[in-house]
Amino acid sequence: MLIYRGAEAEIIMDTYLGRKVIKKKRIPKGYRIPELDKRLRLQRTKEEAKLMVEARRGGVPVPIIYDVNLKEFTIVMEYVDGERVKELIPKLTERGRKEICTMIGKNIARLHNANIVHGDLTTSNMIFKDEKVYFIDFGLGEFSFEIERRGVDLHLLMEAFSSAHPEYPDLFNHVMEGYRSTYKGNAREIEKKIEEIIKRGRYMK
């Protein structure tokens, strides 16, 4: 059953070996040269699967991958039957929001420690289940050592918070508390980069 069709992929609810799963299938783009289109879809499917495996190895809860079909450009993964953080945040107490945001910050730090940039950090791409925050949709992710990319990753989440949850201005501060406690590099360097990105955005307006 098709549950979502994005610009790059279809998200299908399916079963695999008796389990309920999510199948992510990269769809062809008519405006691309067919050979280039195949190459890009192949590359992105492989990259996303690799990112998820490395994220899990780094201690970040992500769906388990059951199968990768490079001929069909699909990834078959665990269906995480939890609640999207976007819907969960308004239901929590102030303390609950602080706890979940600290957890999110720790997970982002673990990604960055593994040189992974998620690329689309929003509360729609996080699912809370069994006292864990699962990160989903690594379709825009990449492996990167750059401070700039890590700053952009976190800045995107900051923007997502102010857009989706403007009534809770402290959420990102709690994320950064968790991030600082777990990041193995110089967290102040990342914070300075975020400040720089904010200033750039103001200048562009």
- Which residues are part of the catalytic machinery? 120
Nearest alpha carbon to residue 161 among 122, 111, 109: 122
To the nearest 10 degrees (0 to 180), the angle between helices 147-164 and 187-204 is 60
For residue 76, what are the β-bridge partners? 23, 67
Look up residue 176 and give its two tokens.
Answer: 């950064």
Q: Cβ-count burial of 199 within 10 angstroms (0-12 exposed, 13-18 middle, 19+ buried)? A: exposed
Q: Name the one residue in this structure whose structure tokens are 């790059």.
A: 8
Q: Is 5 helix (H, G, I), strand (E, B) or coil?
A: strand
Q: Is 117 helix (H, G, I), strand (E, B) or coil?
A: strand
Residues whose CB falls within 8 Å of the CB of residue 93, separated by 6 or more in sequence, listed in order: none
27 and 9 Cβ atoms separated by less than 8 Å: yes
In one-letter notation, the amino acid at residue 27 is I
